[in-house]
Every structure is written in structure tokens, then in C-alpha cells.
């Protein structure tokens, strides 16, 4: 049941801290505080590149995985949505690593992409929530997201669990490739192990998120902005808003705004930005300044280290705990999903069963 929550989505949002913790328990050895992945029939040290593919929210998780694998493991990564990847016929070196991400393990396009990568002798590593699924049976390695059943059509906890697995995969790959030393691994693992309690702290921001939701609920269009690993977080926020509140939303890499979308900005188009204090904070803030100068209303998700500077320009903000840059996209996902939820509640939509959508998309 819903355990007293209004919707399954609300219940599942509250499970973020738990599922991040459960997923880490499978992949981190508590004694050595190192990542331990299951045995694989190939060596992460020698894969020449990775190809990541998925649909919807799972694709955005994969995008964050790309930033991590490139930056920390120095592994070249190609990524595309599965409905494009399956027909792209990219030239691939055999022995590359295929990373497939799916909650259900049954998504038709992701399964077809898996098969087309396998035909090219790519090693298939799938990150799946349903471990008894078609994709699981066709993969060389399955890394489970220990999120439990997800009932709400809009994905929430499966997404942060996917990110947790991708973070561990990044650490293991980096170690195998010699781009991360012991001290480096310790710092990243410590940041991950700290996440469940930081994620629980996010729920103290409920009032601020509901205040933002009242502004967003009045809008016809909303722009979501972020840079670096916060860009896919913005995409996730925009998708969730469209999906359950039926308000049009678009996500842009903040630096791309001046190449077109800035002409949209006026008082009627709220701007939701994800801007924690990471190395891209200053760049993001200057993009937000530009939007504000054109009459944009800024609703900003930041953290304790960014709060002073954000408060000087934002109409409203949500202040999360400051965490290591590496895990910031995992933490920052939670409030953007909560915002979409609160807007949908205000709009009175069928939150758990949005129109025209199915939980598992088994047709092309
Ligand atoms: C968004 C959402 C969808 C799924 C997508 C992939 O909230 O739920 O975009 O993420 O349909 O589904 P899976 O992960 O089952 O392959």
C-alpha cells in the first residue's frame, strides 16, 4: 500500500535514502570501504570505450554516468537514447563496454539496442531494477539497483539507485584503469556512504519546494537549467514535470541559453536551475544573471556553500546540504522530482497514472 502517503510517487520519493543505502550495501565492502563488483567475464581495465544507452529517465542517469566515466575513469564514452542507438549502426571496436540502463529490463528499444550491441561483440553490462527480466537474461553482467518495486509510472527511486550503481561502476573502472588511487577511491566512497543521511535531510526542504511549486503550477512553460552533471538533472526535472503535471518544460545546458532559448524569457516562464557549489557554480550563476537581467524569475536548487550568492539573485531557493561534487547530481535529483510531484498535486492530475503513459514500454 501507500503507507499513508497520498500517492505511490510520494512514498517512493521518500524511499530515496533507503534505496541508495541498499544499493551501496551490495557494491561497497564495509571493511575496506572499497567498491567490489561481481566477477565479470571481461576486464574493465582493457575495454577501449563505453557505449551507454537507455530511454527516458534511465537515459539521463546514463548521461550523468558519462560525465563520471570520462572525468574519473578517463574512458571514452558514446551515449544515445536507445531508439536512436538501435538504428545508428555506430562503428564499434569489439570488446567495448555496453552499458544498458533500465528499471524494468523490458523496454523494447533498450532491449533492441542491447541486441544490436551484442551482435557487434560488445560486452553487455546492464543496470536493472527487475533482475528477472528479458534484458537480464541477455546480459553478460547485471548490476542490480536495489530499489524494490516501483509502482508510480514516473520513475523516482530507481533513478537515484541507477546513479548509485553508475557511480560504483565508475570507481571500479577508474581503479582498474589506474586513474584513481587508493586515497581518491576512499574519498569518493566516503561521499557515497554519506549520501543516505544527506538525502534524508532533503525532506526538511518540503515547505520551500511547495512554495516553488505554486509558482511553477501557474506557468504554461518552464525552463530548466544546469551545467555539467547538473544538465541531466535539469533534463530529469523537465521530463518529470511534463510527465505528471502536463506543463511544458524544457531543459537546457545553461551555457547554451544565449544561443536561442534566452529569447523565450519573460516573467511568465519560470526558470528552475540546479546550481550546487561545484566547480561550475560561477559559470552557472553568470548564466542565471543573464536570465534575470531579461526579467526571468529564478527558482534555484543550491546547497549551503552556494546559498549566499544564490539568494542575491534568486526569487526563491532550496538549500540542500553541501556534498562532494561527485555525488551532487544524485542529491540534487531528489528536490527536482519533489517539485514535479508537488506541482502535479496542485494541478490535481492522476499523479501515479499520468495519461497516455505506461510503466513499461514494451513496444517500439
Ligand atoms: C520517466 C520514466 C520513463 C522511463 C523510461 C525507461 O519518469 O519513467 O522515462 O524512465 O520509459 O524505462 P525503463 O527504465 O523501464 O527502461
> What is the grid cell recorded at 151?
509502482
pLDDT of residue 152: 95
Instruction: Taking the CA atoms of 29, 34, 35 and 36 in sequence, report the sign of the dihedral they define.
Output: negative
pLDDT of residue 364: 87
pLDDT value at 362 more than 90: no
Give the separation between CA 330 and CA 168, rounded to whole angstroms: 13
> In sequence order, which residues have a C-beta less than 8 Å from that of residue 31 and are 6 or more positions away?
none
Centre of ligand 1 to C-alpha 103, Å, is 7
β-partners of residue 300 are 273, 317
Give the separation between CA 344 and CA 237, rounded to whole angstroms: 13
How do residues 218-268 score in pLDDT, each as one tens digit?
Answer: 999 999 999 999 999 999 999 999 999 999 999 999 999 999 888 999 999
pLDDT of residue 49: 97
> What is the grid cell recorded at 275?
546550481
For ligand 1, atom 11, which residue shows the shortest CA distance?
Answer: 56
Nearest one of 93, 101, 49, 43 to 74, comparing CA atoms = 49
- Minimum-distance ligand 1 atom for the alpha carbon of 55: 6
| 359 is annotated as an active-site residue | yes
Query: What percent of the chain lies above the pLDDT cut of 90?
Result: 93
pLDDT of residue 307: 98
Give the separation between CA 2 and CA 149, rounded to whole angstroms: 12
CB of 361 shorter than 6 A to ligand 1: yes
Give the single-character DSSP code of 106. Answer: -
Which pairing describes strands 50-54 and 77-81: parallel, antiparallel, or unpaired?
Answer: parallel
pLDDT of residue 1: 86
- Mean pLDDT over 296-306 rounds to 97
Mean pLDDT for the chain overall: 97
How do residues 51-89 score in pLDDT, each as one tens digit?
Answer: 999 999 999 999 999 999 999 999 999 999 999 999 998
The answer to whether the CB of 303 falls within 8 A of the CB of 275 is no
Give the position of cell 554516468: 65
Centre of ligand 1 to C-alpha 126, Å, is 15
- CB-facing half-sphere around the CA of 27: CA atoms within 13 A: 29
Centre of ligand 1 to C-alpha 128, Å, is 11
With cut-offs at 50, 70 and 90, classify the pLDDT of residue 363. Answer: confident
For residue 190, how many other CB atoms are within 10 A of its CB?
A: 12
β-partners of residue 79 are 52
pLDDT of residue 327: 98
Q: Which of 8, 103, 136, 353 to mutate to test the pocket of ligand 1 (most atoms within 8 A of CB)?
A: 103
Nearest one of 255, 252, 211 to 234, comparing CA atoms = 252
pLDDT value at 109 more than 90: yes
CB of 103 shorter than 6 A to ligand 1: yes
Which pairing describes strands 221-226 and 34-35: parallel, antiparallel, or unpaired?
Answer: unpaired
Strand locations in 149-234 (E): 221-226
Nearest one of 11, 260, 273, 284 to 154, comparing CA atoms = 11
- Minimum-distance ligand 1 atom for the alpha carbon of 107: 16
CB of 155 shorter than 6 A to ligand 1: yes
CB of 226 shorter than 6 A to ligand 1: no
β-partners of residue 50 are 77, 97
Amino acid at each position: 500500500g501507500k503507507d499513508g502517503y497520498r500517492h505511490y510517487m510520494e512514498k517512493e520519493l521518500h524511499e530515496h535514502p533507503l534505496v541508495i543505502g541498499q544499493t551501496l550495501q551490495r557494491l561497497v565492502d564495509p571493511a575496506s570501504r572499497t567498491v567490489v563488483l561481481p566477477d565479470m567475464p571481461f576486464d574493465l581495465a582493457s575495454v577501449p570505450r563505453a557505449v551507454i544507452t537507455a530511454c527516458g529517465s534511465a537515459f539521463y542517469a546514463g548521461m550523468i554516468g558519462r560525465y563520471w566515466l570520462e572525468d574519473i575513469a578517463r574512458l571514452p564514452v558514446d551515449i544515445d537514447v536507445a531508439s536512436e542507438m538501435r538504428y545508428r549502426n555506430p562503428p564499434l571496436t569489439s570488446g567495448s563496454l555496453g552499458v544498458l540502463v533500465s528499471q524494468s529490463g523490458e523496454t523494447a528499444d533498450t532491449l533492441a539496442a542491447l541486441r544490436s550491441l551484442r551482435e557487434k561483440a560488445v560486452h553487455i553490462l546492464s543496470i536493472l531494477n527487475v533482475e528477472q527480466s528479458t534484458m537480464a537474461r541477455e546480459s553478460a553482467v547485471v548490476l542490480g539497483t536495489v530499489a524494490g518495486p516501483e509502482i508510480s509510472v514516473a520513475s523516482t527511486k530507481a533513478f537515484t539507485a541507477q546513479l548509485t550503481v553508475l557511480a560504483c561502476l565508475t570507481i571500479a573502472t577508474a581503479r582498474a584503469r589506474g586513474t584513481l588511487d587508493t586515497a581518491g577511491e576512499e574519498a569518493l566512497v566516503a561521499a557515497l556512504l554519506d549520501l543516505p543521511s544527506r538525502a534524508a535531510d532533503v525532506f526538511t526542504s518540503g515547505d520551500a519546494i511547495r512554495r516553488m511549486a505554486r509558482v511553477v503550477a501557474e506557468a504554461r512553460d518552464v525552463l530548466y537549467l544546469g551545467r555539467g552533471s547538473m544538465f541531466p538533472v535539469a533534463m530529469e526535472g523537465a521530463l518529470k514535470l511534463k510527465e505528471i503535471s502536463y506543463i511544458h518544460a524544457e531543459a537546457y545546458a545553461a551555457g547554451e541559453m544565449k544561443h536561442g532559448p534566452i529569447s523565450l524569457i519573460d516573467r511568465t516562464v519560470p526558470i528552475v536551475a540546479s546550481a550546487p557549489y561545484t566547480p561550475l557554480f560561477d559559470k552557472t550563476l553568470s548564466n542565471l544573471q543573464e536570465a534575470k537581467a531579461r526579467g526571468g524569475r529564478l527558482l534555484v536548487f543550491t546547497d549551503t556553500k552556494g546559498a549566499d550568492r544564490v539568494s542575491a539573485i534568486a526569487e526563491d531557493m532550496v538549500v540542500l546540504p553541501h556534498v562532494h561534487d561527485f555525488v551532487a547530481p544524485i542529491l540534487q535529483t531528489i528536490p527536482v522530482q519533489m517539485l514535479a510531484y508537488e506541482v502535479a498535486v496542485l494541478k490535481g492530475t492522476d499523479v501515479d497514472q499520468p495519461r497516455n503513459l505506461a510503466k513499461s514500454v514494451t513496444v517500439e
